[in-house]
Amino acid sequence: MSNKCGLIAIVGRPNVGKSTVLNQILKQKISITSRKPQTTRYQIIGIHTDGDSQIIFVDTPGWQISPKNRLNRLMNREVKQALSDVDLVLMLCDSRQWTLGDEKIATLVHESGVPAILALNKIDLLNNKNSLLPTIAKISENYSNFSEFIPVCAQTVSGVEALLEFIMFSLPERPFIFPKGQVTDRPERFLCGEIIREKTMNYLGDELPYTTTVVIDDFEELENITNIIATIWVGRDSQKPIVIGKNGSLLKRIASDSRSDIEELLQRKVFMKVWVKTKRGWLDSTEAMKTIGLLD
């Protein structure tokens, strides 16, 4: 029997649970998540190989209706690029509300001409399950390329199996693109930077996460240990003491939480040093966008 293999873009508004769904399907954390929007900043590939089927998921940043800076515009560009290149689109929305942002994304998906399915996520938080039907009816009437509507709860994996089955069924016959066992195309160095960014986002208040990023300055694999030197960039000097915390306490927590996740990922001991640096205007700087990998 021949193999099946396809590329599936996961798109949707910020914070609807795209990366959570991907991690649940892979049973491994490939893409960082947080309760704050705009967590994912890049296209991140997650590969699910099962028997004769290989699904190559492309997680994307949440689509922003009014991008405020260069970083946000390049995040939207990542979404558009992903849409241009895939066999199927998995759009996610929050089952509790269909918003203007969702309309905009469904239109983008429709314009891409790629077949699509919609997963209505967070049904655990939905009070009235009957409210889903009119929403689904309206969407299917307006956007003809959506062929399937699947209510899911990514957190408990409810409905995710049905979603996966449908995707498997729709894969084209094609040889595998990645070797069995490979789960992402991203190098460990990149994943480590993302883990530190996730911890930074988790510990900071509501505004700061959007003006910080993490750069891995050094990643050195020695015989018994991996040495990592990372820098958290902030946009203004006044933000530095917030990230560092009283007597360095916050930075210590960010570093130690990151280190234990990274040790689990790499399956080896890690020595890590994390610095904080002010990079004024990095959100609009070409050089910064190149450093963080959003521009060539």
19 is a contact residue toward ligand GTP (CB under 6 A): yes
Residue 220 pairs in a beta bridge with 227
Residue 155 interacting entry, from ligand GTP, Mg ion, none, C-beta within 5 to 8 Å by type: ligand GTP
Amino acid at 223: E
Binding track, positions 41-70, relative to ligand GTP; x by CB under 6 A: --------------------xx--------
C-alpha triplet 127, 131, 136: angle, nearest 5°: 135
Q: Which stretch binds ligand GTP (CB under 6 A): 14-22, 161-169, 187-195, 216-224?
A: 14-22
Instruction: Tell me if 158 sits within 8 A of 152, measured CB to CB.
Output: yes
Instruction: Tell me if 40 sits within 8 A of 15, measured CB to CB.
Output: no
Task: Tell me, by CB under 6 A, how many residues bind ligand GTP.
Answer: 24
Q: Which stretch binds ligand GTP (CB under 6 A): 32-40, 132-140, 182-190, 267-275?
A: 32-40
Residues between 138 and 167 that touch ligand GTP (CB under 6 A): 153-155
Provide the minimum distance between the beta carbon of 35 and ligand GTP in the complex, in angstroms, as a whole number.
Answer: 4
Residue of 19, 228, 266, 189 lying closest to 121 (CA atoms)? 19
By CB under 6 A, name the one of 17, 101, 159, 209 that touches ligand GTP: 17
- In the complex, residue closest to ligand GTP by CB: 62
**Nearer to ligand GTP by C-beta: 94 or 148?**
94
Question: Strand pairing of 4-12 and 88-94?
Answer: parallel
Interatomic CA distance for residues 11 and 16, integer angstroms: 9
Provide the minimum distance between the beta carbon of 145 and Mg ion in the complex, in angstroms, as a whole number.
Answer: 23
29 is a contact residue toward ligand GTP (CB under 6 A): no
**Nearer to ligand GTP by C-beta: 29 or 259?**
29
By CB under 6 A, name the one of 49, 54, 121, 231 that touches ligand GTP: 121
Type and span of the H or E element at 77 = helix 70-83
Length of the chain: 296
Residue 231 interacting entry, from Mg ion, ligand GTP, none, C-beta within 5 to 8 Å by type: none
197 is a contact residue toward ligand GTP (CB under 6 A): no
- The set of long-range contacts for 157-161, using a CB threshold of 8 Å and a minimum separation of 24, is 157/24, 158/123, 158/124, 159/119, 159/123, 160/21, 160/24, 160/25
CA 110 to chain centre: 22
Instruction: Tell me if 58 sits within 8 A of 82, measured CB to CB.
Output: yes
Residue 196 interacting entry, from Mg ion, ligand GTP, none, C-beta within 5 to 8 Å by type: none
Q: Which residues bind ligand GTP (CB under 6 A)?
A: 12, 14-20, 33-35, 37-40, 61-62, 121-122, 124-125, 153-155
